[in-house]
Every structure is written in C-alpha cells, then in structure tokens.
C-alpha cells in the first residue's frame, strides 16, 4: 500500500499540467460534438465520455485561480473577454450553417460566461464588505440578493451546463476555504478547540477529505442532473487528487494557449464540420 502511495505521490501534477489535461479532454469532447453525424454512436459516446472530465477540472482551476491570482479584476475580465470572442466566432460560423439551430452552441451561451458569473459570485462571498458604509447585516443582505440575482440569470438565459457550473465552483470554493482554515489552525500557536482538532489532522487526511468532499459535490450534481453522461465526470477526481498545489513554471505561451484555445477550437471544428 505504501509503495502505491509513493508512486501516486511521484505522479503529482502542477496547475500547468492540469490545464493541458483539461484542454486535451475538451478538444476530444468537441470533436465528438461537432462531428457526430460522421461517426458511429460508439465512437461518439467514447469521445463525449472522455470530454466529461474537462469541465470539473476547468471549474477547479477557475477556483484555484480565484485564490491565487494577483489581480482578480483582470482575471475576471480576461475570462469575460474570451467568452465574448468565443460567442462571436461561433455566431460567425453559424451564418454558413444550413441548420444552425440543430447545434446547441447556437442556442446557449458558452461555458466561459458561466465561469465569469461564478467568479463574480465568489468575489461577492469573499469580500468582507461590499459597501463600507453599510453594517454587517446590510452587507450580508446585499450579498444574498446579488447572489440570488446572478443565479436567477441561469433560469432565464441558457448556458452550457446551466447552473451546475456556479454550484460546482461554489462547492470548490467552500472546500478550499475549509482546507485553508484547517491549515492555518495548524500553524497558529494559540490553544483552542479548533487548534486541538486541527492538530489531529495530517496533510494526508486533509487531501483525502478534500477529495471526498469534491466527490460528494460531483455526485450531487450528477444525481440531480439525471444525465448518465455526467457520471464520467467522476474520472476528473484522479487528476484533481494528483494536483500538487504548485503553479508550475511561468509559461506565457501556455497561458495564451489556455485562453486562446476556447474560441479557436470552436471556430475551426464548427467550420470543418459544416464544410
């Protein structure tokens, strides 16, 4: 058992490697989506099943980005701009499609809009005070109203994956806050019940607990969705478990690819499918 754990430890992934896994599985998914008429049902289902791995990883990375970005406003703006560019390119290609409304990408906003709204929700929750002159009760009420309004948008405007993305990212956020809280308690020198409780929890326990909570979060979404394809999202737990917490080397090219791949792959794959 120890040998197995050691091997798993050696397979740790940094954020850059997680991004690559998410991008590759997303590309495989979209190849199945756009070229469905030209492949067998088995091939289509295999490609879409592999693609289910990508969304939870992206949601996880978005949440990690929220905690570690040096400039949250620029981070949210980048995601929002890529969402707009992606939607414009999809619309441009759809003009050449004889039956554009047969494609769900022409009926709903792309997933990056969901990520943007999810980041706004996290910002609302994370900020101690949205308006300084308001007291704590008024700020809390304002936060609840704003979050409900944003979630309400998902009821009236169709998004890829719908409300599941903000709910999943919110769960990732709460789980990460819990992990950070336990870690900080372990580092303090004061004696308290929290400190005593945290002292019994090792890094291994935190990791396993973290993954267990993520698994529960995914299961709740899978069961509620009643979409059998969503069960394949559970495979995303493996790369998330292997995440080391390290960013990896700063690579501008990888960042450009990470943001640019969203609009480019939709544009090229959609165009090729109608050609």
Question: ∠81-86-92 over CA atoms, to 5°?
Answer: 125
**Host H or E run for residue 120:** helix 111-126
Mean pLDDT, residues 39-56: 93
Is the pLDDT at 196 greater than 60? The verdict is: no
pLDDT at 178: 80
Least confident of 6-10, 118-122, 159-163, 178-182: 6-10
Q: Note the pLDDT tens digit of each residue in 115-168.
A: 999 999 999 988 887 777 778 788 888 899 999 999 999 989 999 888 889 989
Q: Regarding predicted confidence, which is higher, 110 or 101? A: 110
Quickly state the pLDDT bin for 46 (edges 50, 70, 90): very high
pLDDT at 1: 45
Domain borders along the chain are 2-274
pLDDT at 117: 95
pLDDT at 238: 92
Is the pLDDT at 169 greater than 50? The verdict is: yes
The two three-digit tokens of residue 146, written as one number? 């704003």
DSSP string covering 123-162: HHHH-S-SSTTS-HHHHHHHHHHHHHHHHHHHHHS-BTTT
Mean pLDDT of the chain, nearest integer = 84
Q: Note the pLDDT tens digit of each residue in 217-227.
A: 889 888 888 88
Least confident of 36-40, 43-47, 89-93, 252-256: 252-256
Q: Regarding predicted confidence, which is higher, 270 or 210? A: 270
Is the pLDDT at 109 greater than 80? The verdict is: yes
pLDDT at 102: 80
Q: Regarding predicted confidence, which is higher, 138 or 248? A: 138
3-state class (DSSP) for residue 13: strand
pLDDT at 27: 95
Question: Phi/psi of residue 119, each to 5°?
Answer: -65, -35
3-state class (DSSP) for residue 192: coil
66 closest CA partner among 227, 176, 190 = 176
Is the pLDDT at 194 greater than 70? The verdict is: no
pLDDT at 175: 84
């Amino acid at each position: 058992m120890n040998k197995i754990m050691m091997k798993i430890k050696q397979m740790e992934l940094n954020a850059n490697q997680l991004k690559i896994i998410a991008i590759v599985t997303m590309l495989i998914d979209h190849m199945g989506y756009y070229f469905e008429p030209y492949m067998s049902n088995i091939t289509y289902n295999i490609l879409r099943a592999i693609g289910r791995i990508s969304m939870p990883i992206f949601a996880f990375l978005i949440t990690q980005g929220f905690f570690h970005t040096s400039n949250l406003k620029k981070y949210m703006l980048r995601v929002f701009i890529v969402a707009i560019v992606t939607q414009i390119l999809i619309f441009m290609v759809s003009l050449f499609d004889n039956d554009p409304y047969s494609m769900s990408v022409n009926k709903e906003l792309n997933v990056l809009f969901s990520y943007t709204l999810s980041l706004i929700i996290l910002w609302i929750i994370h900020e101690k005070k949205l308006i300084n002159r308001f007291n704590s009760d008024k700020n809390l009420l304002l936060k609840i109203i704003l979050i409900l309004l944003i979630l309400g948008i998902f009821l009236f405007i169709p998004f890829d994956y719908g409300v599941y993305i903000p709910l999943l990212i919110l769960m990732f956020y709460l789980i990460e806050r819990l992990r950070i809280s336990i870690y900080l308690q372990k580092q303090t020198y004061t004696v308290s019940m929290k400190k005593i409780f945290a002292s019994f929890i090792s890094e291994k326990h935190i990791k396993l607990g973290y993954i267990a909570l993520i698994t529960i979060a995914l299961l709740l979404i899978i069961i509620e969705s009643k979409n059998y394809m969503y069960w394949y999202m559970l495979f995303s737990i493996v790369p998330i478990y292997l995440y080391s917490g390290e960013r990896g080397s700063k690579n501008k090219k990888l960042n450009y690819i990470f943001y640019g791949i969203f609009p480019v792959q939709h544009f090229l794959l959609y165009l090729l499918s109608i050609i």
